[in-house]
Structure 1
Amino acid sequence: MIRPRFLLTMHKFGQGGADRVALLLASGFARAGNDVTIVRMQSGGEGEAALTPLCDPAIEIASAGAPMGSRKLELARGLALIVRRIRAARPHVVLATSNNIGLVTAFAALIVPRSGIRFAFKTTNPVIRPRDKSKVAQWYRRRLYGFIFGRFDCILPLTDAERGRLIALYPQYEQKFHTVMNPYVSDEMLANFTPQTTRRDAPRTIVALARMMPQKRLDLLVSAFARMRRQQDRLVIVGEGPERAGIEALIAQLGLSARVELPGFADDVVPWLRKADLFALSSHYEGLPAAVIEALATNCPVVTTDCFDGAAALLAHAPHCAVVPCGDADALAAALDRGLAYDERPTSLRAIARRYCMAAAIDSHLAVLHELAHAAQAERSNAVLTRIRPVRH
């Protein structure tokens, strides 16, 4: 078997969890003996300094160019680079690493010769989002992803619940859907540490790890924090993004400036999670949020909105954790109050997170991608035999 060649497409090295996961996977693939190339639509992303060190030195990185101020323009420009790199490198597998790169990679699959190449697509957000409320929006999204899925040989959802939802929407593609696990949990997260024990009526810290953008509904979290019965606690929102000014204005309006901290983007989230007494996620929708798994890995209880498939199942037996309806500030406030009603930090939460450790998650991806690579190589070998086989008269 020839050494498998993988080409991964992504938008940029940003501050989102999907970008970090893509680089962790790429490095894991390279260390497992595969040739890996990353093709990104934009260089100089806001997470470049933090994410570049995650790349294994063996990975080749190709960039389409500097930021253009528009993701759509960057994706259109990047299409030509994806096509050129596929034609030059002839990878066995092309992997679109998130929803935001799926369409342009699907167009590349239409342009390049498909023989001896397999295309895979990783879904990191719902196909039909909660904000797609109108029938027209839902029809459009369903048709759009029907087109995208039709161009790929394999689609990789992050949970069995999401896989079931996708099969219900696209039964004709059932055989394409294969659940994989994301590499969220590092050895450092799972390392034992002794948190300081405090009385349940003492001041506590709630931590959120989120890019400041509309999807994350940090306005909801701040509003819920203001409604809590416990008025002695602190809220720390770790992250940056375009909605920072609006969040700061809401914090001031609600008189929370002395109790809410916005420290910005953090390269390492472990220290924040170990300081936290409770982790909060207030998103409108997610795929499988890395921050939830990372919090569980440090035995930090989680309160989340019902923003991702499988949330209730993941936290069903997790002490001091809760899932509340999306958009309900009162329910979120009540759950935050309940989540802090303990004297000692739980010790059983990291068991939930262990299945998302780096090695297991990389293996789950490679099990699927190597099967695709074997099929691609077999197709190439058959094509060569067909060309050299003598013609009988």
Structure 2
Amino acid sequence: MKKRILFMTESLGIGGAQKIIVFVANQAIQAGYDVTLMAMQPDTNIFKIDSNIKVITPSILTDNKKIAIFEKVRFFRKILSSTKFDCIINFPISQTSFLALLGNKIPLLTSERGAPSMYPFIGKMVMKYMFSKSKLVGFQTSMAQDYYTQLSKSKTFVIPNPVFFDQSGQDKIFKRQDVISVGRFDPVKKFDNLIQSFIELHDDFPDERLVIYGDGPQRDLLEKMIADANAQNYIKLPGKIKITPDFYNQAKIFVLSSQYEGIPNTLLEALSTGTPVVATDCEPGGARFLTKNGTVGGPVVPFNDVQTLRNSLYHSLHHYDEALKIGELGKYVNQEFAPDIIAKKWLDEIERFVEGA
């Protein structure tokens, strides 16, 4: 009889964790498990979900956030009481999933997707509780795994994210034009530092442009920075864009300026195309891990150091042939993080989890 697995996530909207849990759920259904995927937030599904997976989302009729959380928790508990699952896989860990799983007796696998030090005190307590109730805990990096010293290594595993890009067009010739970055306009992405660095570079490279794709709560602040420096002609915030290999292949340099990341998907994608990168040493060390301490793809610099970020960009632009050679080395990720390799790692852990449930 097929084992029934409930995959539980916060939403099926935009997000790295959401992308990976759909990927893992798709692998599980193809491996012969009975899979239900539940999202606590009734967002539009933007990822391709196997048609054999049962997808459940609550209908929330209130704009009151506290009442909405209560309704989500009640909805989830109703699902659990009406359907027998053999085990639950939950990530990312959230306040809603914590409340929904309080007192849960069904075997649980959780996966920590961020930087451990970014969580406030309450968040750390939630994480500790969820880990204590989990039979297995997954991490994206060994650095994050090592942070939680209270967990036995036999109870944990490390699986990085896969590279999803189809590289069939990688032999095309592209004109590399702009320095780019991409992400949610959120304080932890530190786009203000990147903009300030580029403003300071302008006199040395007046023909270069910085283009940051994305949107979010800091848009007004970033636009004001650009306007105050009269930088509208060479720093652009065009909004969201569909990310493809060509997006990176047409970039001169990709910059990751974040303070916190797990495995930075955008950095992984840039490396896969051989695009030169400059990355901050974001916690808990994903950029350092992917670039092999700055020896492939491009340099890794302190996360909140505008001057060093500026100097690294200056060096990469001034010695661009050298940057291209180092960027080419980043293509190693296409072999090490290929979807079939990462899928097998996840299926091995799911089998270990389910058999021990």
For normalisation by structure 1, the TM-score amounts to: 0.81
> 1:336 and 2:313 equivalent?
yes
> 1:284 and 2:276 equivalent?
no
Note if contact 2:276-2:328 (Cα within 8 Å) is conserved in structure 1: no
Distance 2:213 2:241 in 1: 7
1:348 counterpart residue number: 329
1:235 is aligned, of 210, 233, 243, to 210
What does 1:297-376 align with in structure 2 at a 5 Å threshold? Answer: 297-310=272-285, 311-315=287-291, 316=293, 318-319=295-296, 321-340=298-317, 341-343=319-321, 344=324, 346-376=327-357
Does the C-alpha gap of structure 1 residues 205 and 67 become closer, same or farther in structure 2, counting only changes over 3 Å?
A: farther
1:55 is aligned, of 40, 49, 53, to 49
1:15 counterpart residue number: 14
Bigger Cα displacement from structure 2, 304-313 vs 321-330 = 304-313
Does the C-alpha gap of structure 1 residues 156 and 234 become closer, same or farther in structure 2, counting only changes over 3 Å?
A: same
Deviations 1:128-155 (A, max 9, x none): 22xx7xxxx55x5543322221122211
2:244 is aligned, of 256, 269, 274, to 269
2:84 is aligned, of 72, 82, 90, to 90
Does the C-alpha gap of structure 1 residues 266 and 17 become closer, same or farther in structure 2, counting only changes over 3 Å?
A: farther
Does the C-alpha gap of structure 1 residues 238 and 74 become closer, same or farther in structure 2, counting only changes over 3 Å?
A: farther
Query: What secondary structure sits across from 2:59 in the alignment?
Result: coil
1:386 counterpart residue number: none
> 1:161 and 2:143 equivalent?
yes
Note if contact 2:288-2:294 (Cα within 8 Å) is conserved in structure 1: no
Does the C-alpha gap of structure 1 residues 69 and 208 become closer, same or farther in structure 2, counting only changes over 3 Å?
A: farther
* Paired amino acid for 2:184: R
Distance 1:71 1:307 in 2: 31
1:188 is aligned, of 163, 166, 180, to 166
Aligned length: 349
* Paired amino acid for 2:34: D
Q: Which has the higher contact order (CA 8 A, sep 6+)?
A: 1
Give structure 2 stretches of 5+ with no counterpart. Answer: none
1:128 counterpart residue number: 117
Distance 1:24 1:285 in 2: 23
Distance 2:133 2:63 in 1: 28
> 1:111 and 2:69 equivalent?
no
Note if contact 2:174-2:249 (Cα within 8 Å) is conserved in structure 1: no
Distance 1:152 1:72 in 2: 26
Note if contact 2:185-2:215 (Cα within 8 Å) is conserved in structure 1: yes
Larger Rg belongs to: 1
Distance 1:68 1:365 in 2: 37
> 1:253 and 2:228 equivalent?
yes
Cα RMSD (Å): 2.4
What does 1:61-76 align with in structure 2 at a 5 Å threshold? Answer: 61-66=55-60, 74-76=68-70
Deviations 1:148-180 (A, max 9, x none): 21122211110112111222xx24x44322111
Does the C-alpha gap of structure 1 residues 355 and 303 become closer, same or farther in structure 2, counting only changes over 3 Å?
A: same
Shift of the alpha carbon at 1:119? Answer: 0.5
What does 1:142-181 align with in structure 2 at a 5 Å threshold? Answer: 142-167=124-149, 170-171=150-151, 173-181=152-160
Note if contact 2:294-2:300 (Cα within 8 Å) is conserved in structure 1: no
Note if contact 1:216-1:283 (Cα within 8 Å) is conserved in structure 2: yes
Does the C-alpha gap of structure 1 residues 321 and 251 become closer, same or farther in structure 2, counting only changes over 3 Å?
A: same
Does the C-alpha gap of structure 1 residues 128 and 57 become closer, same or farther in structure 2, counting only changes over 3 Å?
A: same
1:32 counterpart residue number: 31
For normalisation by structure 2, the TM-score amounts to: 0.88
Note if contact 1:26-1:36 (Cα within 8 Å) is conserved in structure 2: yes
Does the C-alpha gap of structure 1 residues 306 and 157 become closer, same or farther in structure 2, counting only changes over 3 Å?
A: same
2:195 counterpart residue number: 222
Does the C-alpha gap of structure 1 residues 180 and 31 become closer, same or farther in structure 2, counting only changes over 3 Å?
A: same
**Matched residues, percent identical?**
23
Deviations 1:311-350 (A, max 9, x none): 3243136445111111111111111122232234643211
